[in-house]
Structure 1
Amino acid sequence: MECQVKANPQVKEVVWIHDGRPIHSFMATGNVEDSEKGVDSDLNQYQSVLNQRYRYDHHYQQQQGPNHHGSTIIMTNQSLVIQKVHRSHRGRYQCVALNDQVVPGCKANQKHQYGVSKNEQIRIRCEVDAEPTDDLTFRWTLNTSGTETAIEWPSFTIVNKTISIATYRPESSLDYGTLACSAQNKIGIQERPCVYSVVPAGRPDGVRGCAITNHSMNTLLIECLPGDDGGLRQHFNLEVYYGPNESRSSMKVLSEASAQSKSFSSSSSSSIVFDNQGVSAIQHHQQLRLHSNHSSSQPNFLVSSLTPGTTYTLNVYAANAKGRSQTVSLSAMTLASPEKHVARARDSETKLTFFFASEQEASNKSLYIRFLPY
């Protein structure tokens, strides 16, 4: 069978279909029954191509033949050859020719949410894939909580043929909603518009649920849960401090420090931090020294190159274009090195004195002493 096509631009691909099921082009040879297995999921894709996205010419013809097995299918250029025709080859054959001309569609990896304050003007960018692009036109609609139906939005410009930019300024809480952009060329109208959400913007909320999930002599792993992003893309920062307040002897019981916590705010030079033993210490930032800064798209940080047996203050906060969140502070200690364990044991040697009633009793008794690790 030969697929006769007239097309401009030139045909790039020919797809053959048998009784509504595509015969995959990558199967140059094979049994028809095998080639049709598992293609039901692809049928809708090809039908969408046929009905909505491409102009094509097609023809079909009936084929019948004797019942032979071991049939072979050969597809070359615009031809379909069936060798050793089998009963399963009966049915309707169609060919579909595809070229580069296509109705507009949303380009991938666009920004679809815009955070903006009241009376702040934003520029929303809509970009589409289409061919041809010479006669491309755009249409914008607005749908907010203050409107029952979408309305035409005229404030937009067209740049580089395939890009349109709309300007928008919400004046009240009822002006937040969605702007939709659709394009049209001589092939057809865009089936699904590109939709962009306009939401109230503000500073992000602080992170929550922070925990030291792993630690060693030289590393700490900090994991938190993100808070609300304030309607804008946020990122997360970690500041690692060390200093004279790292000693556990400076720690106070949590109940003692909690009474003073009300006098401290996120903007003050002091903060209340909690270590993994459930105690609290009031640490002054001017006495601490910065070890390192870290930034991440997720509130998870692996801090390395730390000193063994040292307590660190960890400050975590989120930030977006509107500002930064409140800081969450916590304290963690790296594991001590084996050398420090030995030195600590030697420094804490204890003299033991035992008393016996007589020398004879002492010589007849055995004394066992068990030392537990520090």
Structure 2
Amino acid sequence: MSVTLRFIFLTSLLMLTCRFARGVTTSDSTNKGLVRLVWAEEGDDVELPCDLTPPTPMDSVIMVLWFKDNIGIPLYSLDARTEGMVYAIHWAASDDLGNRTHFITGDGQRARLKVKTVKFNDQGIFRCRVDFSNSPTRNFLVNLTLVEQPTKPVIYDAQGHEVIGIPRFFEGYDFRLTCQVSGGRPKPTVTWWKDGELIDAVVDVPEMSEITGSSSKFTVNHLFIPKVTRSLWGSKLECKAQSDPMTKPIIREVPLDIYLKPLAVKINLHDDLILAGRPIAAKCESWGSWPAATLAWSLGGVKFRDPVVATTQRRNSTLSKLALVLEREDDGKELSCTAINHNFPGGDLKESRLLRVAYPPIVDAQLAVGYNLESLREGDDLKLICNVQSNPSPIEIVWFHNDTRLEHNVAEGILIATNTLTLRVLNLGHSGEYTCYGRNSIGDGRSLPLIIRMKFAPRCKAPYESRNIAVMLHDTVKLRCEVEAEPTDTVRFSWTFNETRGDVLPIQNSRPRNYELTSVLEYTPTTQGDYGTLGCWASNSVGRQKTPCLFHIVPAKAPKPLIDCTLHNESSALEVNCIPGSDSGLPQHFLLEVRGSLVGSEVIQASQTLQVPQSDQGELGEGPPIYRIENSLPSFQLDYLEPGYDYTLAIYAVNKHGRSNPKRLRNVRIVEQLGNNMERSGGFVIKNLQSIIPNQATRNMIIYVAVICGVAVILIGIGVMIGVAVCRKRTHTPRRENMDDLTTPTYVSAQRIEPRVRYDSERRRSQRTSFYTDESRNDPDLLPQVEIDLQR
């Protein structure tokens, strides 16, 4: 029965379809060509719209038929002819598509055919035919198209190389990326996004692919950013490809790695004042670089190898610390810190600090340009320069001459200006060491001495300018002439007599070894005419001595008497002090004699008993000497003069020629007993004068012993003198004077000059000359042999 009913329904539906088909061609021309596009992804459920609203309000739908493409048999039908839309009969084709369709009537316009799990073959033109009771039939066309997703986006750089991984770009350079997809239906859109914000939506559709050269099935989007800024650092780009707005886009993430050059670098010095030799700490900090910069230090353009105390690198900053010990040579140099991003060529950033190193003055004294010490002579001018290196600048510059500070003095020719010293009209007083001293707020310094030695002609050395030499006839005296000169290696000597040029006594190589500027001349006067003035002349490469060293040869005389003799009563002795007179040019010593003042007194009788030499008898009223004392100085001490008696003291000056007139001290009386020791060197004494006075017989033995000792001493002295006289006679010494002079010759001639007169055969005039014999070349005081040509 059911089969029969279904057959009847299908038959009637087919008849109606044929009829309505014919009617559509004639009556439904208004909907022709109106196609509604419906996109769907494979596997999605899709709804195809169909409007069931009657054209007139009182009309109603009696039949809805869905056709696909050009197939004449309905895919789906709804029959409302019998019982209306509420109880309408739904029918679907028995194929795969029919089994997945269902019509939803809704409220007129919202009627739709729902297709479940759309497949690729479901694509096509669906036609919805709506039959009304009184109105013409309507047809609605729906194009069901499945969306075809494009391929996953591919990213290319500006050189056309596919970007794999994280692309790298440089700050300040242009930025270019290309996102490309192929396929897709409908035509996909390709967009660039940054952190969820659209930055480029322009789709470029080339005729030919820029990458593969194939047809325009590719869709691309070129992203170009001129001058990459820091805002892109750490960002992430997205390329989205989407074929339909309703579909889910295909996304390719592109994380960016932007190389950033250092943004800033700064040097900090912990010490405001930098002192030479004192360590300081320097800090350099850089930030803004990616990757973090490497810091490099340099001083005066010279890089430090490993000076960093500590280095800290953070995400995009670097800190470096440096320990420095600067010297004065580093003053004015630049301390530089360079931030280097090794991944960013040309992205280095440097800061420099000009260093001012404080140090005390370094002082150097020099000759000014144009002056030469080798040619410096008396009368020249000289200019010195004090070179001072210091930081800060010196506040004082001082010149010293032999450690004596110099002051500006125009009258004395000392001119000081800033750092120069000018000396006008040089003399020997300007010779010596010159140093300059500089001082600043840090300290002070002094230069090494600059030694000034002027060349000058010889001159006499004190005290050899002029001397009186007393010489006895036939005695030989050594005349020592010492001079000062510069240079010393060319000094030559000559001698003159009575300042007569014709009487020059030339001396070759008369200067002793070791360049001692000395000439020694042995001179022997044989007649009174040989007494006069000898002049010693010296010369060197500068010139000849202007004023000679004078030796006035005078006859030897006895010394002058002593003056101002005084007595002092000490606790143990009587002291006599005198002032010597002129020695007449010969060495002298002094003699004191003690005599009793009462003629015929016991004191004199006792002295006669002792056999004092009668040649030394005093004047009338004075007795012979009780004893004598010799001394090199005019100072004597007298012990044990018997109190209660008057004495006369006679003091003499004695030289080789004789002795002076005595200086007498008369009526010397001793009130109290003096000391107990009467012995003095150089004389003979009577011990304990009380023993020679009558009524002291108990001391006779002591007196006899003293007399015997005194006689023994005299005999021994006479023997010594005889021995000395014999020795002198053998060595041809001058004749011995009277023994009463109590002197001993101390001069032994080393070389003898005997002046004599020679006559020229032509002019028959006398000339005085000297000949020298070189007895020993090793003796610096002996003069070499010289031959004199008297014909000149």
**CA pair 325-196 structure 1, distance change in 2 beyond 3 A:** same
**CA pair 103-221 structure 1, distance change in 2 beyond 3 A:** same
Q: Determine the structure 2 residue equivalent to 1:130.
A: 485
Q: Determine the structure 1 residue equivalent to 2:659.
A: 324
Q: 1:198 Cα deviation (Å)?
A: 0.9
Q: Determine the structure 2 residue equivalent to 1:3.
A: 366
In 1: Cα distance, 2:581 partner to 2:600 partner:
34
2:658 matches 1:284:
no
Q: Determine the structure 2 residue equivalent to 1:154.
A: 505
How does 1:97-136 map onto structure 2 within 5 Å? 98-99=452-453, 103-110=457-464, 112-118=467-473, 120-136=475-491
Indicate the SS of the match to 1:322. coil
Q: Is the 8 A contact 2:365 2:384 kept in 1?
A: no
Q: Determine the structure 2 residue equivalent to 1:295.
A: 632
Q: Is the 8 A contact 1:117 1:170 kept in 2?
A: yes
In 2: Cα distance, 1:41 partner to 1:318 partner:
48
CA RMSD for the aligned pairs? 5.0
**CA pair 226-54 structure 1, distance change in 2 beyond 3 A:** closer
2:214 matches 1:214:
no
**CA pair 268-135 structure 1, distance change in 2 beyond 3 A:** same
Q: Is the 8 A contact 2:478 2:520 kept in 1?
A: yes
Unaligned runs of 5+ in 1: 29-34, 57-71, 79-95, 252-265, 273-279, 339-374
Q: 1:164 Cα deviation (Å)?
A: 1.8
2:557 matches 1:202:
yes
Q: Determine the structure 1 residue equivalent to 2:204.
A: none
In 2: Cα distance, 1:2 partner to 1:315 partner:
66
Q: Determine the structure 2 residue equivalent to 1:344.
A: none
Q: Is the 8 A contact 1:250 1:281 kept in 2?
A: no
**CA pair 190-330 structure 1, distance change in 2 beyond 3 A:** same
The alignment-based identity, stated in percent, is 27
In 2: Cα distance, 1:248 partner to 1:55 partner:
70
Indicate the SS of the match to 1:218. coil
**CA pair 73-142 structure 1, distance change in 2 beyond 3 A:** farther
2:412 matches 1:76:
no
The amino acid that maps onto 2:623 is Q
Indicate the SS of the match to 1:179. strand
Q: Is the 8 A contact 2:562 2:651 kept in 1?
A: no
The amino acid that maps onto 1:315 is A
Q: Is the 8 A contact 2:589 2:630 kept in 1?
A: no
Deviations 1:58-78 (A, max 9, x none): xxxxxxxxxxxxxx9976247
Q: Is the 8 A contact 1:210 1:222 kept in 2?
A: no
**CA pair 203-76 structure 1, distance change in 2 beyond 3 A:** same
In 2: Cα distance, 1:318 partner to 1:53 partner:
41
Indicate the SS of the match to 1:237. strand
**CA pair 210-324 structure 1, distance change in 2 beyond 3 A:** same
Q: Is the 8 A contact 1:218 1:334 kept in 2?
A: no
In 1: Cα distance, 2:661 partner to 2:476 partner:
27
The amino acid that maps onto 2:631 is H
Q: 1:7 Cα deviation (Å)?
A: 4.5
How does 1:161-180 map onto structure 2 within 5 Å? 161=515, 162-170=517-525, 172-180=527-535
Q: 1:202 Cα deviation (Å)?
A: 2.5
**CA pair 8-326 structure 1, distance change in 2 beyond 3 A:** same
2:648 matches 1:270:
no
**CA pair 130-321 structure 1, distance change in 2 beyond 3 A:** farther
**CA pair 210-250 structure 1, distance change in 2 beyond 3 A:** farther
In 2: Cα distance, 1:42 partner to 1:314 partner:
61
Indicate the SS of the match to 1:323. coil
In 1: Cα distance, 2:580 partner to 2:429 partner:
41
Structure 1 residue corresponding to 2:643, chosen from 285, 309, 314: 309
Indicate the SS of the match to 2:505. coil
Deviations 1:264-300 (A, max 9, x none): xx9724214xxxxxxx843233xx355x54331xx4x
**CA pair 47-112 structure 1, distance change in 2 beyond 3 A:** farther
**CA pair 135-333 structure 1, distance change in 2 beyond 3 A:** same
Unaligned runs of 5+ in 2: 1-363, 376-381, 386-397, 415-421, 433-442, 603-612, 675-792
The amino acid that maps onto 2:583 is D
Q: 1:126 Cα deviation (Å)?
A: 1.2
Q: Determine the structure 2 residue equivalent to 1:88.
A: none
Q: Is the 8 A contact 1:217 1:335 kept in 2?
A: no
Structure 2 residue corresponding to 1:50, chosen from 412, 426, 432: 426
In 2: Cα distance, 1:48 partner to 1:195 partner:
32
**CA pair 119-294 structure 1, distance change in 2 beyond 3 A:** closer
Q: 1:124 Cα deviation (Å)?
A: 2.0
Q: Is the 8 A contact 1:217 1:336 kept in 2?
A: no
The amino acid that maps onto 1:76 is S
The amino acid that maps onto 1:317 is Y
Q: Determine the structure 2 residue equivalent to 1:263.
A: none
Q: 1:194 Cα deviation (Å)?
A: 1.5
The amino acid that maps onto 1:232 is L
In 2: Cα distance, 1:108 partner to 1:208 partner:
28
2:666 matches 1:334:
no
In 2: Cα distance, 1:335 partner to 1:99 partner:
67
In 2: Cα distance, 1:55 partner to 1:316 partner:
49
Q: Is the 8 A contact 2:473 2:526 kept in 1?
A: yes
Q: 1:336 Cα deviation (Å)?
A: 1.8
In 2: Cα distance, 1:101 partner to 1:6 partner:
12
The amino acid that maps onto 1:234 is Q
In 2: Cα distance, 1:225 partner to 1:53 partner:
37
**CA pair 99-156 structure 1, distance change in 2 beyond 3 A:** closer
Deviations 1:6-43 (A, max 9, x none): 5569xxxx9859xxxx9544367xxxxxx537895696
**CA pair 42-122 structure 1, distance change in 2 beyond 3 A:** farther
**CA pair 229-74 structure 1, distance change in 2 beyond 3 A:** same
In 2: Cα distance, 1:306 partner to 1:48 partner:
69
In 1: Cα distance, 2:545 partner to 2:618 partner:
55
Q: 1:154 Cα deviation (Å)?
A: 1.4
Indicate the SS of the match to 1:268. helix
Deviations 1:164-197 (A, max 9, x none): 2334454554543221112222344334421111
Calculate the TM-score normalised by the size of structure 2.
0.27
Indicate the SS of the match to 2:426. helix
In 2: Cα distance, 1:193 partner to 1:270 partner:
49
In 2: Cα distance, 1:130 partner to 1:199 partner:
29
Indicate the SS of the match to 1:317. strand
Q: Is the 8 A contact 1:155 1:166 kept in 2?
A: no
**CA pair 120-321 structure 1, distance change in 2 beyond 3 A:** same
**CA pair 174-308 structure 1, distance change in 2 beyond 3 A:** same
Q: 1:234 Cα deviation (Å)?
A: 2.9
Structure 1 moving runs of 4+ over 6 Å: 46-49, 52-56, 246-249
Indicate the SS of the match to 2:498. strand
Q: 1:98 Cα deviation (Å)?
A: 0.6
Q: Is the 8 A contact 1:217 1:306 kept in 2?
A: no
Q: 1:137 Cα deviation (Å)?
A: 0.8
In 2: Cα distance, 1:303 partner to 1:48 partner:
59
Q: 1:318 Cα deviation (Å)?
A: 1.2
In 1: Cα distance, 2:366 partner to 2:664 partner:
70
The amino acid that maps onto 2:407 is E
**CA pair 140-37 structure 1, distance change in 2 beyond 3 A:** same
In 2: Cα distance, 1:108 partner to 1:228 partner:
21
The amino acid that maps onto 1:271 is G
